[in-house]
Structure 1
Amino acid sequence: MAVESVPLTPPLAPAPTPAPTGARGPAVTAGAGPDGPPLTIVLVEFLPTGGMFQFTFLFGEALARQGHRVLLLTGPGPELRSATPGLEVVSLFPTWDPNVDLGGSFLRRKLRRVGRALRLVESWRRATGLLRRLQPDLAQFGELRYPLDSALFLRLAKRCPGVALVDVAHNPLPYDVNGGSDSVEKGGRLTRRLLDRAYRACDLVLVLGDGPRATLESAFPGLTRVAVCGHGDYSAVLAGDQTPPPSAAPPNILFFGSWTTYKNLPLLLDAFALVRATRPEIRLTLAGPVMPDVDPAAIGRRAAEIGNVDLRPGYVPMEDVPGLFAAHRVVIFTYSTVNISGSVHMAYTFGRPVVATDVGSMSDAVIDGETGLLTAPDPAAVAAALIRVLDDPAAADRMGAQAVQRVHDAASWSAVVDKAVPAYRDAVQATRT
C-alpha cells in the first residue's frame, strides 16, 4: 500500500514568553524554573483522537506552560489544537482515526489491518527521521500497543542514541481489545519478549500510579528507571466548572468509555436490572466506542430486556461531553481489572461521584466514601452502591465536590509535570554521560 511522503522538517515550538495567568494556568518564562534550563521535548502519539491523544496533548500543554519547548507529532486532523505558547501540534503521520467504525466483511477488515500496519511502519520511519534531524533532549512515546510498535521502537533507539527515550506505560501489559479470548492482557510470547526489550531500551518509563508501577516491575523485573507521574484532569479542554452539581441532574447513571471486555458491561447491566427492580424510573446510558472484542448486538438485546437503557455506541465528540455528564448523577465503572482509568478523571472533572468495582488499581483513583464508592464485582453489591448514591443527592454533591478537589490537589497537570520533569532530567543526563 502506497503512503504519501511528507518532509520531516517541522520547526520546534519556540520557548514560551510570559503571559497573564488564565484558566489554564500561568505561562512560565523559559529558563525561569529553579530545576534547570528548559528542555526540548518531542511527544509522539500516532493516533489523532481519543483518550491517548488527549492525554498527550494535555501533558504537552502543561510542559509548555512550565517553559519547555514541546512538539507533538500525530496523525491527520487532530481533535485538539494548541493555543499555548511553546507547544506545536504537527500532523506528520499517515495514521487513522481510531474511533471510526468502518465495519465490512472479514476479508475487508483483514486488508484494512494490513494497510494500517504499513501506515504504522511509515509513521515510525518518519518519527525516526525527524528525531535524528532535530536531536531534541528527549522523545516521549505513548503506549506500545502492538509487537510492531515494540520492534520499531527498538530500531529507533539504535538510530537515535543521543536522544533520551521515554515511554508512558498506560497499561504496562497492553490490553487486548481485538482478540476473541477471555484474556484481558496481551500474553503472547512474542509480545512479552519485544515489550521487555523495548522497556529496557527506554531511558525512562513513566507510569500513572503505584498500582501500574507494581504491575510493570512484576512483569518486567530489573528495569532501571521507572517513575510515577500520575494522570491529570480535563479542565483545560472541557468546561467542568460550568457543570451543575449531581443533585441538579435526574437520578441517572452513566457509563462513559470504550465498550470492551475488561469493562465488564454484562456485570453493569445485571446490576442495573437489580436497580430497576426497586427504582423503575432510573435510566442508564452507555456511551463510547465499541471495540472488536464486544458483541454490541448482545448488549442491545440485554438492554432491551431490562429497559430504560440508552445506548450511544461510537465516539463522543468533545463538545458533547459536558452535556452528557451534566445529565447524570453518578458514573459507573464495573471493570474486571484496571491500571488507571482516564474516564474516572473525566468524571471528576465534571464533579461526578463514581461507583466502581474494587479491582486492579481502582483504589488509586477512587477514595471510597469520599470521591465515590468502591464495591465488590458482584451485581447485588454494585446495585446497592448505586442506589445509595442515587437516593442521597446531598451525598452525591459532597462526593462530587471531593472529586473536583482531588483533581485540583492530586491530579492536576502541573502536578504531573512536577513529577515527570526531574525524571526527564535524570534520563537526559544519563544519555549524555
Structure 2
Amino acid sequence: MRMHMKVLMVEPLGFSGICYYTAGLCRTLQPLVEELTLLTASNYELNTSQEPYTVLPLLGGMNRNQAKLRRGFNALRNPLIMLDVIRANNPTIVHFQDSFIPLIEMWSVNLAHRLCAGVIYTVHDVERATLLGEPTVHSRLTALALHRIYHIANRLIVHSQNSADELQKRFTVDVSNIYQLPLGAPYIDNNSLPNRAEARASLNIPADCIVALFFGNLKKTKGLDYLLKALQRVVERLPNFLLLVAGPPRSENTTDYIGVTKSLGLEDYVRFDMRYIPYHEVPYYFIASDFVVLPYQKVYQSAVVVTAYAFGRPVVATRVDGLSEVVEDGRSGYLVDDSADVRSLADKIILMGLDQAKRNDMEHYVRELTLTRYSWTAIAKETKRIYSTLANE
C-alpha cells in the first residue's frame, strides 16, 4: 500500500541562496508527494502567490530591519511555531534546510524527531564558524548544537564529498546516514531576462568591457583581498577589464576592500555594489558579466557556481574543498591551486578574458550541466527516494 507522503519543509532564513535552493526543490518535489508545506520566515523574499505548494511565512528572527536583540527574541518562538504546524499538519517527514541559529533550531529538530516519522536535515555548511574567521565562545557553543542536530536527524543531505568527510571526521556521523546530492541550478524564466546589452546598460557598464563577477556575502575566507592584488597583473594585459563586486560585507569582516582598491590604484577597474542583491536583480549581474571568479580559501559548496552555470557563465575558482568537485578545469572554468598565489590567479583570469572562443565553448557546456547534472528533476526524485526509504523503516 502506498504511503500518503506529507512533507513539512522548514527553511528559517527566507532570503538569499538557501531560500532560492529550497524554492527550487519544493517546486519539483511537490508533484512527487501528496502534500508539501514550506514553513519559512515572516519576511520571505519570494512571491508565493503562484507556488504549487503551501507557504507558511511564520518564523521570526530574519527581519534585517530589526535590531539583533529583537531578531534573536523573535527567533526564540520558532520551535513553538513549528510545533503548532506539525500538530496541525501531521507530516510524515520534516525536512530542515540548514539553520539560522543552531542553538535554537536544535530544539526544533528535537521536537520534530519526537513527533514525526522522520527528520531530514540538509547541511549546506557543515560548520559555518569555520567560514567566518577565528573560533569564539559562541562558535564553540554553535558547534555543540550542530553536533546534537546532526545526531538527532535521521538523515543528512550534503552537497559535496568534502562535507560528507567532515561530518564523519569532525562530528562522528555514521556514513550510512549521509546522502550526497548536488546543488540545483536556480529557476530561470528566459522570457523575462534582459539581454547582455540591457543588463550592462542597467548597471552602467560599458559594452566593450571584459567583466568578471565576484558575487555574494563578503567573508574573509572568500579571498577578495587576493583577487584585488591579482588585478594589478590582470589589467596590464586586459586594459578594458572590470571586476564587479556585488554583495554585502559580513559584520565580522572588517577588511576595507574599497581602501585596498584605492591603495593599489585600481579604482577604474573595480565596481563595488556592497548591498544585499535581491532576487529579481540577480540575473542582471550574471548576464552583464563574462565569467565569475571565486578565489575562496574555504567553502563547503557554492550556489554561486551553479548560478553562474545556469546563466552560461564559466568560472575561475580555487581548487579547494567542494569547489574542486563542481568546477571542471578547462571545461566549465579554470582552477587555481591557491588564491594566495596571486600571480597564478591573475594568469587564469587573463586566460579566460583573452580567449573568447574558449569562453563560448564553456558557455555551451555549463548550460548543458544545468539540464543534466544539476537538474532539479533528478534531485527531487532522489530526495523523494530518501523520504520513502526513511518513512518505511
Asked if these proteins are the same fold (TM beyond 0.5), I'd say yes
> Would you say the 8 A contact 2:185–2:374 is kept in 1?
yes
| Contact preservation (8 Å) 2:24, 2:187 | no
- Residues 187/196 of structure 1: CA separation in 2 closer, same or farther (3 Å cut): same
Counterpart pick for 1:206 among 151, 157, 166: 157
1:229 alignment partner, one of 178, 181, 184: 181
* Aligned 1:234-383 pairs, distance under 5 A: 234-236=186-188, 250-295=209-254, 298-304=256-262, 305-307=265-267, 308-377=269-338, 378-383=341-346
Q: How does 1:30-429 map to 2 (within 5 A)?
A: 39-82=5-48, 86-98=52-64, 112-157=67-112, 160-175=114-129, 181-182=133-134, 188-223=139-174, 224-236=176-188, 250-295=209-254, 298-304=256-262, 305-307=265-267, 308-377=269-338, 378-429=341-392
Q: Percent identity, please.
A: 23
- Secondary structure of the residue aligned to 2:129 is coil
Equivalent residue letter for 1:228: Q
Cα distance, 1:182 vs. partner?
A: 3.7
Letter in 2 for 1:122: R
CA 1:290–1:194: 2 relative to 1, 3 Å:
same
The 1:411–1:39 alpha-carbon spacing in structure 2 relative to 1, beyond 3 Å, is same
* Code of the aligned partner of 1:299: Y
Q: Deviations over 1:237-263 (max 9, x none)?
A: 676987559xx9731111011111111
SS at match of 1:380: helix
- Rounded to whole Å, the distance in 2 between the matches of 1:373 and 1:38 is 46
Pair 131,237 (structure 1): closer, same or farther in 2 beyond 3 Å: farther
Q: 1:404 to 1:38 in 2, by over 3 A?
A: farther
- Matched to 2:237, the amino acid is T
Q: Structure 1: how far apart are the matches of 2:165 and 2:284? A: 37
SS where residue 76 of structure 2 aligns? helix
Letter in 1 for 2:73: L
**Change in CA separation of 1:238 and 1:339 when aligned onto 2, cut-off 3 Å:** farther
Give the Å deviation of 1:152: 1.6
Deviates more, 1:282-291 or 1:316-325: 316-325
Kindly state the Cα deviation for residue 222 of structure 1 after the two structures are TM-superposed: 3.9
SS of residue paired to 1:194: helix
Cα 1:67–1:250 shift into 2, 3 Å: farther
Structure 2 CA distance for aligned equivalents of residues 250 and 281 of structure 1: 5
**C-alpha displacement of 1:38:** 5.5
SS at 2:69 equivalent? helix
CA deviation map 1:288-345 (0-9, x unaligned): 122112226x101112232211000011122222222222111000100111100111
Inter-partner Cα distance in structure 2 for 1:319 and 1:249: 25
Query: TM-score under structure 2 normalisation?
Result: 0.88
What is the CA–CA distance in structure 1 between the aligned matches of 2:12 and 2:233, rounded to whole Å?
42
Name the CA shift for 1:81/1:403 in 2 (closer, same or farther; >3 Å).
Answer: same
| 67 and 164 in structure 1: CA distance in 2 versus 1, 3 angstrom threshold | closer
Give the C-alpha shift of residue 175 in structure 1.
Answer: 3.5
Which stretches of structure 1, 4 residues or longer, exceed 6 Å deviation after superposition? 238-242
Provide the residue aligned with 1:20 in structure 2: none
- Runs of 5+ in structure 1 lacking a partner? 1-30, 103-111
Distance 1:82 1:287 in 2: 26
Q: Which protein has the bigger helix share?
A: 2
Structure 2 counterpart SS, 1:234: coil
CA distance in 2, matches of 1:403, 1:412: 12
Which AA in structure 1 matches 2:215? F
> In the alignment, is the contact (CA less than 8 A) between 2:120 and 2:155 conserved in 1?
yes
Residue identity matched to 1:194? A
Aligned length: 379
Cα distance change of structure 1 residues 38 and 157 upon mapping to structure 2, 3 Å threshold: closer
**Corresponding residue of 1:24:** none
Deviates more, 1:329-338 or 1:162-171: 162-171
> When the two structures are superposed, what TM-score results if normalisation uses the length of structure 1?
0.80
Is the 8 Å Cα contact of residues 10 and 96 (structure 2) preserved in structure 1? yes
8 Å CA contact 1:249–1:327 kept in 2: the answer is no
Residue 174 of structure 1 and its aligned partner are, at CA, apart by: 2.2
Contact 2:14/2:45, CA 8 A, preserved across alignment: yes
